[in-house]
Structure 1
Amino acid sequence: MLALQSFEELFRENHAHCLAFATHYTGDSHEAEEIVQQVFLKLWEKRDTIVITGPVKAYLFSAIRNAAISQWRKAAVRSEKETAYGLSRESATQAADVRELEKLYHQALDRLPERCREVFILSRHQQMKYAEIAEAMNISVKTVENQMGKALKILHQELKEYLPLLIIFLF
């Protein structure tokens, strides 16, 4: 159970990192702020029942990623409705292609082993250095290197036919 003072400390220590992660992940600072606030609000609301195993920062990043995916799904539904009401077929097809690529990327990311996924997200989405990841996750730098290698190999295998398009649309 989180007391108010503990929660405030947790918020102060992690808000900036969470916001940076969410901004990088979504590409939109306003959407990122909304997602981070939503994650901390849910954490506060569930403070009596929530059990966090592992690093808090990794939990928060996962919650942010899940909230962003949820918002993207809602936006995709809105976009599909807008498309049905008159957007050109070409722009609708391009938007659907981008959404499909994002979906494939996130599905592949979700299939990574948990530690691999956390290391990959911290490195590629949060732009953390291996030493920072090692410290945040309480593991060695060599383990971070191994997990990144494993994550990249798995993602490359799963997404090899889409790599050129993913590079263009997602990065």
Structure 2
Amino acid sequence: MSDRTGGLRDREADSGLHDLYRAYSGWLTARLRRRFGEDADDLVQEAWIRAAPYSRHGLIEHPKALLMRIVDNLAIDRARRRGPRPLSLSDHVQPEPAVDLASQADAVLLKQIILNMPPRLRDVFVLSRFAHLEYQEIGERLNIPVTTVQWRMQKALEYCAAQLRL
């Protein structure tokens, strides 16, 4: 069955995606190069492929957020496929540049809380929250049982909550 508009909707959707690409491709590529190095080009290409259906339905209200969520999911999938690897210096998370003073203050506070956390709790917390590893993967990397990972994560969250209440 053909579209009586002569494919007008498809052309509009493609135009919308093209406009988004022109507006955000440079930003996305630069951001991913800092974060993923050589893998950035592949992630950018796959992110645009995955964003295409959203543009066809006109569902993109916050394009940067959508693109970063897609890239985060792609990076998590790739990391899971590769399996566990030894910890390296690149596993230490550097906070993203803050946009406004309030978020800068929040970033500084979060960094201070994490740096002051006991090392065993901090290792589990960082691998879970920033490296996006599952408890099983954390246990394998740190050579500890999953129950210990769960306990340390609970204690790390309690530590964060206690510091925020001060």
Q: TM-score scaled by structure 1?
A: 0.51
After TM superposition, the structure 1 = structure 2 runs for residues 152-163 of structure 1, keeping only pairs within 5 Å, are 152-160=108-116, 161=119
CA contact (8 A) 1:21 1:61 kept: no
The structure with more helix, counted as a fraction of residues = 1
Task: State the aligned residue count.
Answer: 111
Partner of 1:147: 103
CA drift of 1:155 comes to 3.3
Q: CA RMSD in A?
A: 3.4
After superposition, residues 45-56 of structure 1 pair within 5 angstroms as: 45-48=53-56, 51-53=59-61, 55-56=62-63
- Distance in 2 (CA, whole Å) between partners of 1:38 and 1:155 is 32
Deviation at 1:20, TM superposition (A): 0.7
Q: Deviations over 1:110-166 (max 9, x none)?
A: xxxxxxxxxx53x2xxxxxx6xx4xxxxxxxxxx11112102311331354369xx9
Q: In structure 1, list runs of 5 or more residues that go unmatched.
A: 81-94, 110-119, 124-129, 134-143
> Runs in 1 of length 4+ with deviation above 4 angstroms?
none
2:22 corresponds in structure 1 to 12
Change in CA separation of 1:71 and 1:152 when aligned onto 2, cut-off 3 Å: farther
Counterpart residue number, 2:158: none
Report the residue type matching 2:35 in the other structure: Y
Bigger radius of gyration: 2
Cα distance in 2 for partners of 1:33, 1:25 equals 12
8 Å contact 1:14–1:57 — kept in the other structure?
A: yes
The percentage of counterpart residues that share the same residue type is 16
Measured in 1, the distance between the counterparts of 2:13 and 2:57 equals: 13
Query: What CA distance in whole angstroms lies between the structure 2 residues aligned with 1:5 and 1:50?
Result: 11
Measure how far apart 1:6 and its partner are.
1.2
CA distance in 1, matches of 2:112, 2:70: 25
Q: Is the contact between residue 22 and residue 65 of structure 1 (CA under 8 Å) also seen in structure 2?
A: no
TM-score by length of 2: 0.52
Q: Is the 8 A contact 1:19 1:36 kept in 2?
A: yes
